[in-house]
Amino acid sequence: MKKLIMIAIAICTIQITTAQEPNNKRNAMANLTPEEVATLKTKKMVLHLDLNDAQQDDIYKINLEQAKMRKTHMAERKARKQSGAAGKPSKEERLAIANKRLDHQIEVKAKMKKILSDEQYAKWEASMAKREGKMKHKGKKKRGNKKA
The predicted structure's pLDDT at residue 142: 60
The pLDDT confidence band at residue 95, using thresholds 50, 70 and 90, is very high
Question: Which amino acid, residue 9?
Answer: I
DSSP state of 84: T
> What is the rounded distance in angstroms from the CA atom of residue 23 to the CA atom of residue 28?
9
The three-point CA angle 125-64-124 to 5° equals: 10
Q: Are 55 and 116 spatial neighbours (Cβ–Cβ below 8 Å)?
A: yes
Do 39 and 60 meet the contact criterion of CB atoms below 8 Å apart? Answer: yes
Q: Which DSSP letter does residue 55 get? A: H
Whole-structure pTM over 0.85, yes or no?
no
Gap between the Cα atoms of 115 and 64, Å rounded: 16
Contacts 24+ apart (CB under 8 A), 105-113: 108/62, 108/66, 111/58, 111/62, 112/59, 112/62
Q: Report the pLDDT value the prediction gives residue 148, as an integer from 0 to 100.
A: 43
